[in-house]
Structure 1
C-alpha cells in the first residue's frame, strides 16, 4: 500500500471508473473499490495492478484479489479471483487510472492531513532549509543551506545533511551522512512507449536509508515504483553514484564513484563495487562478492566471488582472456 505520508488520494475509484477511463472490458466485480496499487503478484482486496507481459506466480494456497489491468491474451494466465480490466496497452491504462486517484505530496502541494513539522530542539538547520508539512527531524541532526525536505520525510538522530540536498518520499535512520547536491526519493527511470512517444510510469514507493549509511555528493537514489528502494545499515556510496528504483542493498556494502545500479537489483551484505561499475536490472549480487572497477554486470554474481570485465565474468577467467588477447596480439605484431 502507498505510504500516506508521501502520497494522498484525490478521489474514490472503482473498477467501473477504471473501465470508463481506459475503455476496458471488465471480467469480475465492477463495483469493487480501489484504494492503492501493487504489483500483480502481491494484489489483495482494493489493489489496482497491471500485467503487460509474462506471467504471475501465485504462492501455494494464496489467492490474488483486487483488479488487474491486462490484455485479452494474458488474461488466462491470471487466477480467477482477480477482477480483470482488459485493454490494448496495460501500462498506459494503468498510468491513466493511477493519476486519476493518487498523487505525490510535494513541497508545492503537500495536501492535507499531515500536520506541522516536528524538529528536535537541538537540531541545527540553516535558515534557508525548506521543511515541509509532516516532517520529523531527530535530535542532533544538521542540515546545510538551501536543502529541501519534502512532505512526510523522517530523518533520525545525529544525521549530517549537506547543502542543496533534496529529500522526498524517504525515511532516514540515525547517524546517516548525506553530502551536498544529492537527491533522495526522486521518481525512477520507468518508461513505456505509447502513441505520444515515451511516457513515465508513476512511482509510489519510498526510499529507506538505514542507520549509519554514508552517501556522497551528487548521488541520486530513486524511490521504488511499488515497493521500497533500500540502502542497508552501514553501507557507503561514493560521489556520483546512481541507485535505481526498487534496488535493495544489504548491510556494509560499498560502491565507488561513477557506479550505476539499474532497477530491481538485489545486492547482498559486505559487497564491494569498484569505480564505474554498472549493474543491469534484476540481477542479484551475493554476499561478500567483489566487482572490479569498470565491470559491466549483466547476470547475477554468486556470493563470495570476484568478477570483472565487460561483460563481467569470474575474475580469473577475465584475466586469462586478457592474457590470451595480449599474447596473440604480440605474435601478430612479430609476424607483421
Structure 2
C-alpha cells in the first residue's frame, strides 16, 4: 500500500526540492538534470509498491532486483547502484540512503513524526477525569477516558491518549505524546518525549529481601526520569528506582517489549531493541546499541558506544567501544570464531550414510 493512502503528503514537492533536503546529486535518467529537478513527487513508497510520481529508495544490496522493476519516478540510492537505475527513473545520489530518506520523510510527512491525538481534537475531552489539583498549560490535549491525578503537571502541546493513567505528582514536559493505555507513576518526563500505547513507567521495581521463611517486599522510593526527546515503544516497562532514580538519557530510543529494572541509568542516544531486559542497578553509557532479546545482568557497567548483539547474555561489564555477542557474552569476533568452529566440527562429525 502506498503511503499516500495512510498519510497525506504536506504538499507536492519537486525533485529539486527533495534533492536539497537529501543533499543529493540528481541524475536525470532519460531527462536532463535541469528538467528532472522540475518533476513532481506526490508520495513515497517501497520499491515494489511505488507508482509513477512517487519516490522510493534503495538501502541494501538484497533489494536491488526490485529496483529493476520499480515504477517509481525517482529513487534515492548510492552511486554504486547507479548502473541499475531504470531509464525512466530519476536518481538522487547520496552517501546514506536510509538517513537521506528519513530527512525527506520528515519534510514530506511532517505530521508523522509525532503520533496524533486518537480523536483528532484539541483540548480536554469531557469524558477525561482531571483532578482539581492538576495543572495543565494551555494547548494540552487529553483524549477520552484518560485519568489525570492530583498535582500532575502537563506542559503545552502535550497529548495524553485515551485511557492513559497519569498518577499523582507526575510531571510531563512540553510537546510530549503519551499513548493510549499508558500508565505513568512516580515519573518526571522531559520535553518532546513519545511514549507508545501500553507502556508502563514508574511502577515498583523487583525488590525483595529473603527472610527465614519468605520474601519481604523492599519499599521502592525512587522515580523514573525520562529526559528530552526519548521515545519508548509499546508495552515496554520501566521500574521506578529503589533508593535512587531510574534514568533514561536524552535522545535514547527504546523499542517495544523492553524491561528496564529499578535503579538503571541509561545514557544519551542509546538504541535498545525489542525484548531486551536490563536488570536492576546496571549503568549503560552513551550511544550504546543493544540488539533484540539481549539480557543484561544486574549491577553491571556498559561503556560508551558499546554494541551488544541480539540474544546476548551479558554477565560481566562491557568496556567502552567493545562489541560483544553470545551467551555468556564475549568479544563478538571470538563469538563468531567459536560459532564457525562448532559448525565445522558438526559437519566433520556428520555420520556417513551406509552405502550397502
Q: TM-score with structure 1 length normalisation? A: 0.65
Q: Which runs of 5+ in 2 are unaligned?
A: 1-130
CA drift of 1:126 comes to: 1.3
Q: Distance in 2 between matches of 1:237 and 1:122?
A: 27
- Does 1:226 find its partner at 2:243? yes
Deviations 1:62-108 (A, max 9, x none): xxxxxxxxxxxxxxxxxxxxxxxxxxxxxxxxxxxxxxxxxxxxxxx
- Does 1:139 find its partner at 2:127? no
- Does 1:164 find its partner at 2:190? no
Correspondence for 1:85 = none
Correspondence for 2:307 = 290
Bigger RCO (CA 8 Å, 6+ sep): 1
Correspondence for 2:206 = 189
CA drift of 1:232 comes to: 0.2
Q: Which has the higher strand share?
A: 1
Correspondence for 2:332 = 315
CA drift of 1:335 comes to: 6.3
| CA RMSD, 1 decimal | 1.4
- Does 1:153 find its partner at 2:170? yes
Q: Distance in 1 between matches of 2:210 and 2:305?
A: 38
CA drift of 1:333 comes to: 1.2
CA drift of 1:198 comes to: 1.8
Q: Distance in 1 between matches of 2:194 and 2:183?
A: 14
Query: Matched residue of 1:317: which SS?
Result: helix
Correspondence for 1:268 = 285
- Does 1:304 find its partner at 2:305? no
Correspondence for 1:74 = none
Q: Distance in 1 between matches of 2:234 and 2:137?
A: 25
Q: Distance in 2 between matches of 1:151 and 1:115?
A: 12
Correspondence for 1:331 = 348
Query: Matched residue of 1:192: which SS?
Result: strand
Alignment size in residue pairs: 223
CA drift of 1:224 comes to: 0.4
Q: Of 279, 296, 301, which aligns to 1:279?
A: 296
Q: Distance in 1 between matches of 2:169 and 2:213?
A: 34
Q: Distance in 2 between matches of 1:184 and 1:131?
A: 15
Correspondence for 1:243 = 260
Correspondence for 1:53 = none
Query: Matched residue of 2:202: which SS?
Result: strand
CA drift of 1:195 comes to: 4.3
CA drift of 1:127 comes to: 3.3
- Does 1:198 find its partner at 2:215? yes
Q: Distance in 2 between matches of 1:270 and 1:168?
A: 27
